[in-house]
Each structure stands twice: as C-alpha cells, then as structure tokens.
A and B are shown apart, each in its own frame.
Chain A
Amino acid sequence: MLPACDGSPPPTHTEAARLSPNERMIFERFAEVYIPTEGTNLRPLSEVPYLDNIDRILAFLDAPTLDEFHTGMKLFDYGSFVVGLYFARFANLSPEDRLEYIRRWYAGGETQRAIVGLIDKLVALGYWQDVEAARRVGYQGPVSDEAKILKLGNAPMPIAIAEDIEAP
C-alpha cells in the first residue's frame, strides 16, 4: 500500500479477508504446480511472499464476495472426491494429480471454470507483483525514481481558443 491517501477514505480492509491456514495450503499446493519454478530462471516461489500478497488483494473484497470466495475454495479443495474421483482433498494430491485436477476444472462447467480461474489469477497476481520475480523475465519494474526522471508538474493554463466556436 502507498502511504498516499492521507486524509482520504481507506480501502475496506477487514480481518475476514485473511486466508485461513487451510486456504493458504490450497494456494501453496496450487502454486507449486501452476508455477513450478524449479529448474527455471524464475524466482523460486519460496522467495516470493505471494500468499501475503493474495491476502492483501482479498482485503478489498466486500463481505458477501468473500463468503463466496471461501465457499469456492472449499468446493475446489474437496471437489477432488467427485471430479476425477481422487478420493482425497486437492491439497493432499500428488503434484501430477493436482495438475490433472486443475486441468479438469478448466475444462469443466461454468462454476468450476470460475473458481479455478480465480485461484489462477490470484496466484499470478500474488507472484508477479513481486518486482524481483518480474525482473527475472527481463521486466524492468519501476524506473522513474531510479533514473531520476524530471517531473514536469502541472500544465500551464491553456490559451483561449474559444473564438472559433460560436456561442450556442
């Protein structure tokens, strides 16, 4: 967060937004197979505080939306008893089964696609907002302060050009 809103309305952070320990585990298990950083040039997941970043994003959601989120996480975690008949929670599946399960949800019905798409988006947002992670793929991140680029300030008052517009 920026300390930029002095005197202005704060975002609606609530404690209810915090991920439960179980939800953190689901996100960890998801991220491990969604962004397998081992053997790549990517910043290791273990070095990126993506779970805390997700928590901060969720803090902007209103209470009913958060309730839907928590319900969706449970459906995803326990859906593996039905979808694919793994007879275990998603969080307890092997990496190979987790990946297969995720793909099943992408190929599933509207609700499944909505839930897996949200988890996918939150993991990506949580990971890629890390400046060092983004720099590993060449993205430069913030530049203006480092390069000391001059601020131009407010534009001067315009010169009146209304003469060419007839008064209505």
Chain B
Amino acid sequence: MTDPSTDIPPPVPVLRVQQPADMPDRGLKLDADAVVIGSGAGGAVAAYELSRAGAKVVVLEAGPYVKSQQFTERLIEAFHTLYEEGGNQVNKSGDLVVLQGKCVGGSTVVNAAVCFRAPDKVLEAWGEDHGLDDLSPEAMALYFERVEKNLRIHPNGPHEINLNGRLIMEGAKRVGIPAAPVSRNIAHCALTGHCLSGCKTDRKQSMLVTYLPWASELGATILSGTRAETFEVTNGRVTQVNAVATDASGSTKPVAVKAGLVVVAAGAVQTPLLFQKNAIGNSSGLIGRNFACHPSTAMIAVHKDDIYGWLGATITTYAGNIEDPKEGSFLLEAGFLGPMSLTTGSGGGVGREYTDFIQKSNRFLAAVTLIHDHNVGRVYMENGRKRIDYDLDDRDFPSLQEAFRNAAKIYFAAGAERVFLPTTRRTVIESPDQIDSVINSLENGKHLYKLASYHPQGTMRMGKDPKKSVVGPDGRMHDLDNVYVVDASLFPTTLLVNPQETIYAMASYLSDRMLARA
C-alpha cells in the first residue's frame, strides 16, 4: 500500500524469529503479558491483535522457521520440512492422512489459500445448540471483513481459473448444482500451483508474510522449534508455560514464560493433547473429544481433451450448496496437483490399467471432495503415542456417496469420458447411466477409500454450558481463568467449508474479548 500523499511505500515489516540455535545454552526465562502457543491462523492473529493493543507477547512455535526462499516447490520435501510428522500423520486405523502444517505460520503456509466465511446457518446453529449467540452472522461479519481486507481475500478472477476449474463450474451449472470461483488470500498470484509446498514468492498471504511479521514489528517475540510442554497452575490460573527448544543437533534448552494471559492455538490435534498431558481444564471430560475433519478425496475423471489441470491456481472454483450445510452436504473444489497428489487417492488400479490411467494425467478433470461430517472422533495419547481415533461414520457415508454422485454428474456434463472413484480398488464409472448403480453399491469400511483431511476441528468444543463444552463463548476455558483457545478445536460442529478464514475471524473476535477483560 502506498501513501497517496507522498507515493512513498510504507516500510516493509520484518519477521524476526529466535531459533533454538540462537538461544543461550541455559535456555530462556521470559516475562510477558501474553504467551501464545502456536503461530498458525489463530495464534498469529491473536499475537498481532494483542501486540497492537500494546501487550508484550511471546509466541511459542513447535515447528521450524523455514523462509519462503527455502521452499522447493516439491511436495514431498514440503511434507518433510513443513508438515506434522513429515506428512505421515494418520488416524488410528491408518486410512486417513491428517495433514497439518508444523512450521512458523502453521497450516496457513501449506494450505491452498481457499477462504470461505462460515456459513450463516452454521453460526446460527452454534447459537441455538451451543449458546454461542454472540457469534451471530451479523456480529461476525465485521470480523470477516477485517481479515478479508488484511489478507486480500478475493474471488478468483478469470485469469486465475484454469480449464479444469472452468469445466467443473460449467458442468455443475448444467446439472443444477451451485458453483462459483473460490476466494483466496492471495496477492498477484503467480499461478504456479504449488500452494501446498509453500508459496515461494510470497503471493499467498499466509501468516508467514502477514500477521507474524506485523506482530514482530510491534515487538512480539517469536520462538521457533519451541514446544510448550507443561503449565504451572495457581488458583485456577496458568502462571507459567514451560517449553523445550530443540536445535538441529537435537540438544534441548528450557524455555519458561511467565504471563498473565495464555492463548493456545496449537491446532485441533495438539491443543487437546497439551491439556491432557497437564491434566487440567477438563472437568467436562470433553477435551480431545468431538474430533471431526472434513474427510476428503481426490476425485478424477478422464476428459476427451487436454486440460493440464495443474497449470494455474491450486484451487479455482467450487460446486455444492454451502449456504445450508446439513446431512448429505458436500463441497467440491476444482484443483489438481499433479501425479504426486494421487498417491493419496486415485482409484487408477494396478499394472497396465494404472499406467494407462496415469499417462492420461494431462486430460484429468480433478476436484477435492469434502463432506460436512459429524464430530465422532477423539484425540488422545496411548502408551506414549498420539492417537486420532476417527473413522468415517455410517451417518456420514451417504454424504461421501453424494459427493461422488454429484462429482460424477458434473464430470460427465463437462465432457468426461469416464470417472474414477477414489477407492482403494479400481472403481470406474463408464457412462452417466452407471452413476447410481456404481455408487449405490459402495459400502462404508476401513481402507476402502483413499481419504485425507486438511481440516481437523472440534476437540476443545466451545459452548455456554461447562458440562457440555471446554471453552466458553468468549474463548476462555471454563476451568482456567486466564487461558483462551483460538484455533479450529473450538468449533462445535464442522463448517463444511475450508476453516481458515473462520479461524482468522474468530481469533480476531476473541482477541477483542481478551482485551476487553484485561
């Protein structure tokens, strides 16, 4: 942004991150007004908003600080350096990959930049069913506007929508399914299609190039490679967070932060584990429960023409009724990341049938399917191992079938020759008249579908009733007077749509609640 009176560009804020190697061997003892655990969508926004109000803020990030110039645009290397468990985090059954960023900036660094506001119907249901009347669509609209402006969130323009996205949008309209360009937090997209490996040229407005440098510029201290481990609690208040910083050689240094305010934003998997480990804040017994994740598949069809779906923006258009998520609701997002992405879902078969399939990659129509799943999962530790106990519920299986059914209809309407279902065994729909018979014959079960999740949610449920929730309507934990949670673990139900914009807006809203109480 340029000051119109002078045309002199404002100074660019600098992100200063203290890495473990920079810390003295004895570690660090810090005093702050607020300690923020996690630097992703929730933590970064809270760190900035609190810093903007004059608070002295320390951010603890367990993952490494990887500068964007070090991104390689190779997905496997990104998995290894930027993702939780090197991209190998799976559910207990092992048939669903749960992808989360683990780096400074969190999942915002490695997501596809897709932004939706939480559907009004979802916010209204949160009010009716969970006592979250303050999160009305009208109240939250102001916060959505705030983050949309700050993160340059806008619908994809025609130049950002490739042939894959256009065909899927046109096909959807032909079969009567609402469709439109997706909005993204991006500035001057270079259309490389490498969002999931981190944006090498800083076009994606992730926390790495926005709220974190802004917080840093306002004085926030940001520590990478520093995992929060234990809390010291006095009279229902956390008075100190103890963390461990681990350097490249594996040696560790203790970090202790005394603060009057504790903001936890480690994500819907790590946040509940932290409280379970410390055995605090759980009078409801619900910490770690109500996990949900928008189980997703990559659904492919072979088109008659060349498409080169990987050229251009990562995700371009969507199809589905997102205004009123309910049983059976689904969302399709047009995008294809190339053959590497099909290792988590293709249904292309084995042997010659696979090589015939994969050699047609340039003709693939491709979309990610998401469903509005129930909160049936649980996150916990078992014999020292993290467990994500989540399997596709029988109540949600019809939603998956509806996603497949409608994607197939859209693909054929868009000119597809055949549709491949994301099943572990090869399942092909050769013509529109086979759609219902093939999809109706599918069964729910483990290791039958190639599933991935990008949106873990729900494990620190927000609500008015302390017996039915962990966190109150103002983001403060029912059992801990000065501890707030500001990540997707708050969501009482899933959104159906990508959650990042809602996390940004909620973090902004909850930061105002923190400041009002300070």
- A residues with a Cβ closer than 8 A to B are 1-11, 33-37, 40-42, 53, 56-57, 60-62, 64-65, 99, 102-103, 106-107, 110, 113-114, 116-118, 120-121, 124-125, 128-129, 131, 133-134, 137-145, 149-159, 161-162, 164-165, 167-168
Contact = CB atoms under 8 A, between A and B. Distances in A.
B65 A143 contact: no
Contact of B355 (A40, A56, A134): A40
A155 to B, nearest CB: 5
B85 A60 contact: yes
B88 interface: yes
A4 B64 contact: yes
Nearest to A5: B64
Query: When A and B form their complex, which 4 residue pairs have the shortest distance between CB atoms, in order from nearest?
Result: A8-B64, A7-B21, A60-B86, A7-B19
B33 interface: no
Interface in B105-119: none
A155 B95 CA distance: 39
A117 B81 contact: no
A3 B66 CA distance: 9
A168 B508 CA distance: 12
B136 interface: no
Contacts of B308: 138
Given A4-B70, A134-B339, A155-B209, A118 B86 contact: no
B484 to A, nearest CB: 14
A142 B351 contact: no
Interface stretch (B200-208, B229-237, B433-441): B200-208
Interface stretch (B34-42, B71-79, B297-305): B71-79
B338 interface: yes
B94 A114 contact: yes
B80 A3 contact: no
Contacts of B28: none
Given A137-B362, A162-B146, A42 B355 contact: yes
Contact of B149 (A113, A154, A158): A158
A113 B446 contact: yes
Contacts of A117: 95, 424, 447, 450
A155 B81 CA distance: 24
Given A8-B247, A99-B350, A139-B339, 11 more contacts: A7-B248, A60-B80, A65-B385, A99-B351, A125-B343, A128-B338, A142-B74, A144-B73, A152-B187, A155-B152, A158-B214
A103 B311 CA distance: 34
25 contacts: A2-B80, A2-B81, A4-B67, A8-B248, A9-B250, A10-B248, A40-B359, A62-B385, A107-B425, A114-B93, A114-B446, A114-B447, A118-B94, A121-B343, A125-B340, A128-B343, A134-B338, A144-B192, A152-B187, A153-B209, A154-B15, A154-B213, A155-B187, A165-B512, A168-B515
Interface in B1-35: 1, 9-15, 19-22
Contact of B88 (A34, A61, A168): A61
A10 B19 CA distance: 13
Given A138-B361, A149-B192, A150-B201, A165 B74 contact: no
A127 B68 CA distance: 26
Contacts of B250: 9-10
B14 A154 contact: yes
B361 A137 contact: yes
A110 to B, nearest CB: 5
B217 interface: yes
B202 A154 contact: yes
Interface string B267-288: 0000000000000000000000
Given A117-B95, A138-B308, A149 B339 contact: no
A137 B248 contact: no
Contact of B76 (A65, A125, A152, A164): A125
B397 interface: no
Nearest to B340: A128
A141 B72 CA distance: 10
Given A8-B19, A117-B447, A149-B201, A1 B81 contact: yes
